[in-house]
A and B are shown apart, each in its own frame.
Chain A
Amino acid sequence: MITTLSRIIKYGLDGFIRNGWLSMATIAIVFLVLIGFGGLIIFNSIANVILNDIQDKIDISVYFKLDSPEDEILKIQRSLESLVEVKTVEYISRDKALDMFKTQHQGDNTISQAINELDTNPLSASLNIKARDLKNYAVIAAYLEKEQIKPYIDKVSYTQNAFVIDRLKKIKNTVEQGGLILIIFISLVAALIIFNTIKLAIYSNRDELGIMRLVGASNSYIRNPYLFQGVLYGLFGGILSSILLTAIIYYIAPYFKAFVPNINGWNYYFSYLFKFALLQIFFGIGLGVISSYIAVRRYLRI
C-alpha cells in the first residue's frame, strides 16, 4: 500500500518535473481560475457585509393617529413582535417623540417657540419595525393593513434606503452571475490545457507505458501518477492564488473601511483565511484531478 503510494508519487513527480514548463503553464491557468473563483467569493462576502450593514439601517415607521390609545399601540407592538418576519419593534410614545424633536431642534428658536405655543403635543406615537430580511417588509406592510390595526394608523413610511438596497442587490446578482459564467468558461479552458499537458506527459512516457502494460501493470497503477499530477496542479495553483488574494486584500482592506466603518476588513478576512485557502485548494485539486482523469481516459490506451 505504502509502496504503491510512494511509487505513484514518484512517477507523478517525475512526469511533473520532466515537463516542467508545461507544468508551470498548467499551474498558471489553474491559478487564474482560482483567482476568479476566490475573487468572486470575496466580492460576494463584501457585498453581503455591506448589504447587511445597510439593511440594518432600514425600517418601517408606523405613525398612529393622535387619539389612538396607548394600550392598543402596545398590543399591536406585541402582535408584531410575534411575527417571524419581524426582528425588532421599537415603541416611541408621543412624549418621547416630542422630547426627541426638541433635542433635535434645540438651537432653532422659531421651532421651539412654535412648539411652546401649542398646548397639545402635535406629534404621534410610532412603532419602528425592523424585519429579518428585506423581503419581509412587504409581509409586514400587508399585516398593518388588517382590520384591527388599520383604524389606528395615521401613516406608514419606509425609509428611502430600500431603493439603494434594491440597486445593490441587482449589482451583486449581476456580478455573481457574470462571474460564475466567466469561471465556468476559464475552468473549461483550464481543463483543456490540463488535457494537453497530460497528453504530452503520456506521449513522453510512451515507452515506459508500453513496458508497464507488457509486464502487467494494473490500470490504476498506470493511471494514478497522472491523477497525482492533476493534484499537484490544483495544489500549487490553490496555494499561489491564496497568497496573491491575501496580499491584495491586505492592501485594499483600509479602503474597505470607507464603506463599512464598523468592520475591519483585514481582520474579517483573516478569520476566514484558512477556510478560504482550503476551499481554493480543494477547488483547484478537483479541477486538476477531474481534467486529468478525463485526459487519461481519452489518451491512455489501457
Chain B
Amino acid sequence: MIIFQNVTKLYNGNGHGHETVALDDINFHIHPKEFISLVGKSGAGKSTILKLLIGEEPPSKGKVVVGSYNVNKLKPKEMPQLRRKIGNIFQDFRLLPNKTAFENVAFALEVAGRTQKEIAEFTPQALEMVGLKDKIKNFPRELSGGEKQRVAIARAMINHPDVLIADEPTGNLDPMNTWDIIKLLLKINELGTTVILATHNKDIVNSLGRRVISLEGGKIIRDEEEGKYILV
C-alpha cells in the first residue's frame, strides 16, 4: 500500500525566495499489485512524486507511506531498506557502461550483500526473464535501446521489490521496443509487483485500460480506474 496524504512539495528557487510549487496538496492511495499510470506534461509533478516515493526528496508538508515505511520519518540508515523494496527504471537506462549485462544486474545483488554463489544463480535467471539470455556478456554499447532497458528491468527486479517505478521507460525507444517493454511491465505486474509508470505516451496509456492519475500544475486533475490519457 502506497499512501500520499496532503502532500505538498515546494522547491526553493536558488535562494531568491521564489518558491516553486511542484506538488500541491496531493492525496491518493495505490493498492498492492496495482498497475497505475502517472500522466501529465513536463513539470506537472510526475517526477516529484517518484522522488518522494524513494525518499530522494522529503515532502514539504504531508505524509508519504510505502508499505510499512513512513518515508518522511525514515532515518538515513533506514533509507536503503526502503530502496530495496522499490525497483527503478529510467528513460536513460542508467546502466554502467564498463560492466556487462551480467555485471550490471549482479551489481544490485552485490550491493544487497548477496554471496557470489547467489549472484551466479540469480543473475542469469533475471536476464532470462527479460529475454536476454544470449546477451549476458555484452556491454551496454553492444545492446539496442530496448535491450538496455530490459537489462535495467532485470536489475530493478532482481532483489524482488514490492514496487517497480518506471520513469518514462519508453521515452528513448522505437514503437516495437516500446511495446516489448510495456508487455514486460505487465508481466511483472501479473507476478505480483506494483507498477507505477510515469509516461507521456498517449497510445500506451489508452491501450492499457488501467488506472490513470493525471497531473497538472502539481495537482491531481483526474484519477480514474480504466482511465484515458486526456490532457487539455
Contact A219 B80 (CB under 8 A): yes
Q: Choose the segment among B62-70, B109-117, B208-216 that binds chain A (4+ C-beta atoms closer than 8 Å).
A: B109-117
Chain B residues within an 8 Å CB radius of A214 = 54, 83, 88, 94
Contact B112 A216 (CB under 8 A): yes
**Alpha-carbon gap, A7 to B116, bound state (A):** 10
Contact A216 B96 (CB under 8 A): no
Q: Choose the segment among A93-101, A150-158, A205-213, A275-283 that binds chain B (4+ C-beta atoms closer than 8 Å).
A: A205-213
Contact B159 A3 (CB under 8 A): no
Chain A 209-248 per-residue mask, 1 if CB under 8 angstroms from chain B, else 0 = 0111111111101000000000000000000000000000
Closest to B88 in A: A214
Which of B76, B107, B111 neighbours the largest number of chain A CB atoms within 10 Å of its CB? B111
Query: Interface residues of A, CB < 8 Å — how many?
Result: 17
Q: A106 contacts the other chain (Cβ, under 8 Å)?
A: no
Contact A3 B115 (CB under 8 A): yes
Closest to B107 in A: A211
The secondary-structure label for the interface of chain A is helix
Contact A215 B111 (CB under 8 A): yes
Contact A207 B80 (CB under 8 A): no
Give the Cβ gap from A2 to chain B, nearest Cβ, in Å.
Answer: 9
**Which of B76, B96, B110 contacts A219, CB < 8 Å?**
B76
Chain B 144-160 per-residue mask, 1 if CB under 8 angstroms from chain A, else 0 = 00000000000110010
Q: A17 contacts the other chain (Cβ, under 8 Å)?
A: no
Q: A74 contacts the other chain (Cβ, under 8 Å)?
A: no
Give the Cβ gap from B230 to chain A, nearest Cβ, in Å.
Answer: 32
Chain B residues within an 8 Å CB radius of A218 = 77, 80, 113
Chain B residues within an 8 Å CB radius of A3 = 113-116
Closest to A218 in B: B80
Known interface pairs A3-B116, A4-B113. Does A215 touch B96 (Cβ–Cβ under 8 Å)?
A: no
Closest to B95 in A: A211
Contact B96 A211 (CB under 8 A): yes
Give the Cβ gap from A286 to chain B, nearest Cβ, in Å.
Answer: 26
Known interface pairs A217-B80, A302-B76. Does A211 touch B94 (Cβ–Cβ under 8 Å)?
A: yes
Q: B81 contacts the other chain (Cβ, under 8 Å)?
A: yes
Give the Cβ gap from B82 to chain A, nearest Cβ, in Å.
Answer: 8
**Alpha-carbon gap, A211 to B155, bound state (A):** 10
Chain B residues within an 8 Å CB radius of A4 = 113
Contact B77 A216 (CB under 8 A): no
Give the Cβ gap from A243 to chain B, nearest Cβ, in Å.
Answer: 35
**Alpha-carbon gap, A207 to B156, bound state (A):** 16
Chain B residues within an 8 Å CB radius of A216 = 80-85, 111-112, 159
**Which of A210, A213, A215, A221 contacts B159, CB < 8 Å?**
A215
Chain A 174-193 per-residue mask, 1 if CB under 8 angstroms from chain B, else 0 = 00000000000000000000
**Alpha-carbon gap, A233 to B189, bound state (A):** 49
Chain B residues within an 8 Å CB radius of A7 = 110
**Alpha-carbon gap, A221 to B114, bound state (A):** 13
Contact A215 B155 (CB under 8 A): yes
Give the Cβ gap from B77 to chain A, nearest Cβ, in Å.
Answer: 7
Contact A207 B96 (CB under 8 A): yes
Give the Cβ gap from B126 to chain A, nearest Cβ, in Å.
Answer: 13
Chain B residues within an 8 Å CB radius of A211 = 94, 96, 107-108
Give the Cβ gap from A17 to chain B, nearest Cβ, in Å.
Answer: 13
**Alpha-carbon gap, A207 to B104, bound state (A):** 12
Residues of B71-98 contacting chain A, CB below 8 A: 76-77, 80-85, 88, 94, 96
Give the Cβ gap from B30 to chain A, nearest Cβ, in Å.
Answer: 20
**Alpha-carbon gap, A218 to B81, bound state (A):** 8
Residues of A4-37 contacting chain B, CB below 8 A: 4, 7
**Alpha-carbon gap, A221 to B110, bound state (A):** 10
**Alpha-carbon gap, A208 to B108, bound state (A):** 11
Contact B96 A208 (CB under 8 A): yes
Contact B77 A215 (CB under 8 A): no
**Alpha-carbon gap, A39 to B54, bound state (A):** 53
**Which of A208, A213, A215, A219 contacts B112, CB < 8 Å?**
A215
Known interface pairs A215-B83, A216-B159. Does A210 touch B111 (Cβ–Cβ under 8 Å)?
A: no
Which of A210, A212, A216 neighbours the largest number of chain B CB atoms within 10 Å of its CB? A216
The 4 closest A-B pairs by CB, nearest first: A216-B84, A216-B83, A217-B111, A215-B108
Known A4-B113, A208-B96, A215-B83; 17 more pairs at CB < 8 Å? A3-B114, A7-B110, A207-B96, A211-B94, A211-B96, A211-B108, A212-B111, A214-B83, A215-B88, A215-B108, A215-B111, A215-B155, A216-B80, A216-B84, A216-B85, A216-B159, A219-B77
18 contacts between A and B (CB under 8 A): A3-B114, A4-B113, A207-B94, A208-B96, A211-B96, A211-B107, A215-B112, A215-B156, A215-B159, A216-B80, A216-B81, A216-B82, A216-B83, A216-B84, A216-B85, A219-B76, A219-B77, A302-B76
